[in-house]
């Protein structure tokens, strides 16, 4: 193996037991791309996605210098807004790819047609995230196994 190669651990969501590690993995990925607020399954309603900024209207050729300078400023502001929009869209696309490919196929079949990844993420949470009661049962089960001894 080369010194330049790295191994990336990808967690696959197969059942409720995989939820905690998989969720932490997806959370870290979304936070690193600065889109957690857009894909967080805890948020109710539609996230506030950026919209593509409109192109400013060009002033007529005989316009004065002030109008032309305002147009140039509007173009610069649009360029910054387009950069942010493109960065968000790219991050959402990467997150969706990571989401779809890190979930077992038989789980993802019905959800893959959803347009927004926050809808998929929320549906997965509702379906596979262990409830508080499930977590308590698991802790009790482990405790009993430890106290009974070999």
Q: Give residue-wise pLDDT tens across range 46-101.
A: 899 999 999 999 999 898 999 999 999 999 999 999 999 999 999 999 999 999 89
DSSP state of 103: B
User: Does the global pTM surpass 0.85?
Assistant: no
Nearest to 121 by CA among 32, 47, 17: 47
38 pLDDT band, cuts 50/70/90, is: very high
What 3-state class would DSSP assign to 127?
helix
Q: In percent, how much of the chain has pLDDT > 70?
A: 93
Nearest to 115 by CA among 94, 95, 96, 87: 96
| Range of 7-16, 51-60, 110-119 with top mean pLDDT | 51-60
């Amino acid at each position: 193996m080369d010194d330049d190669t790295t191994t990336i651990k990808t967690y696959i969501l197969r059942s409720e037991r995989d939820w905690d590690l998989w969720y932490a993995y997806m959370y870290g990925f979304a936070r690193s791309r600065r889109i957690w607020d857009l894909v967080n399954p805890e948020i109710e309603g539609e996230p506030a996605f950026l919209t593509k900024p409109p192109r400013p209207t060009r002033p007529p050729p005989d316009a004065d210098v002030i109008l032309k300078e305002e147009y140039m400023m509007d173009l610069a502001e649009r360029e910054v807004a387009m950069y942010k929009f493109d960065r968000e869209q790219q991050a959402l696309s990467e997150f969706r790819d990571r989401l779809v490919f890190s979930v077992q196929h038989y789980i993802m079949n019905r959800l893959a047609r959803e347009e927004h990844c926050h809808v998929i993420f929320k549906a997965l949470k509702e379906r596979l995230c262990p409830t508080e009661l499930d977590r308590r049962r698991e802790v009790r089960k482990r405790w009993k196994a430890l106290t009974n001894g070999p």
